[in-house]
Structure 1
Amino acid sequence: MSSTAKRIRTAILVAALGVSVGCTAIYRNHGYIPTDEDLAEVVIGIDTRASVEDVAGPPTTGSAMGDGNYYYVQSRFRHFGLTEPTEVEREVLAVSFDEAGVVRNIERFGLEDGQVVRLSRRVTDDGIQDTTFLGQLFGAFGNFDAGSILNPPGS
């Protein structure tokens, strides 16, 4: 076999290797979410912001609403060839606190087909804690019977 044939064969192998490596998907993880074992150490109704940070680490972000809730976000991106990276997986862990800074709720959310999906929840929400007084007042219109006002029970 001549040296020219060896060079051509080597060049073809290098090109084939380059094409196959270039067409391989590469996955990258961004962000951080505490493990379930870490979260098992957080006791709802007892732990505070400081103890959550000690157990789970600092949050990715805080609440934009000013209520001091913690959010841990983890995303997985797929890089393929020369195309733009696409997000293939996202998970958000929300730790909410009451006015005293004590853990009220821990929830996990995922992003499935562009829709937010609740993955887990540690506390059942009563539905009125995040509603303002005016929201409760206006929400009560139409939920009463005029007969019960005019004829109270026991009269």
Structure 2
Amino acid sequence: MFTFTQLKKSTTRFALVAVTVGALAACSAVYRNHGYTPTPDELNEITVGVDTRDSVIEAVGAPSSGGVLDESGLYYVATRMRHYGPRAPQIVSRELVAISFNQSGTVKNVERFGLEDGRVVTLQRRVTTSSVESSTFLRQLLGNLGNFNPAAALGQ
């Protein structure tokens, strides 16, 4: 028969092992895939100078995004991200397939880019600031006390 102390020790050991296993499992990497790029076999079906935008979409599927203008290219983007515990997600791989068209609407070029081909592009954000946002509510309230004119409030 187990005594109370033996039972308490075995329960404590079990709880310690369970917490350790749970902590190790929580810190394992989780991978997520976003987007789609056509396989090389699907891209081989596209003939430069012959296929049009509609035939490309029929052969390899709809793109992740397109160009701003109707005559611009089709872009297929796939990203693989690693989530590891409480850390911010990291991009492990990114692939981009760009299919460009000439003026007549036929395929001009098919290009594949990887993460190693990329450049860091700095985005610029322009925000108009106002004096209202830079001061607190209390400061605005106290600043308006000196501007109060009782005669103007009474209509005199």
Per the normalisation by structure 1, the TM-score is 0.69
| Aligned partner of residue 100 in structure 1, secondary structure | coil
Which residue of structure 2 lines up, in the alignment, with residue 56 of structure 1? 60
| Aligned-partner Cα distance in 2 for 1:68–1:60 | 14
Structure 1 residue runs without a partner (length 5+): 117-155
Residue 101 of structure 1, CA deviation: 1.6
- Of 80, 84, 98, the match for 1:80: 84
What is the Cα deviation at residue 64 of structure 1?
A: 2.7
Report the Cα distance in structure 1 between the residues aligned to 2:42 and 2:30, rounded to whole angstroms. 29
Q: Distance in 2 between matches of 1:113 and 1:61?
A: 19
Aligned CA distance change for structure 1 residues 47 and 114 (closer, same or farther; 3 Å): closer
- Structure number having the greater helix percentage: 2
Following the alignment from structure 2 to structure 1, what is the Cα–Cα distance between the partners of residues 118 and 27?
A: 26
Partner residue of 1:3? 7
The offset of 1:114, in angstroms, is 5.5
The aligned counterpart of 2:95 is 91
> Is 1:18 aligned to 2:26, yes or no?
no
Count of residue pairs brought into register by the alignment: 116
Query: Normalization by structure 2: what TM-score?
Result: 0.68
Query: Residue 51 of structure 2 is aligned with which of 47, 51, 55?
Result: 47
Which protein is bigger by CA-based radius of gyration?
Answer: 2
Cα gap change, 1:16 to 1:113, in 2 (>3 Å):
farther
RMSD: 1.8
- What is aligned with 2:108? 104
SS of the equivalent of 2:51 reads coil
Query: Could you tell me the percent identity over the aligned residues?
Result: 43
The structure carrying a bigger strand percent of its residues is: 1
Q: CA deviation at 1:113?
A: 8.2
Consecutive unaligned residues of structure 2, counting only runs of 5 or more, are 121-156
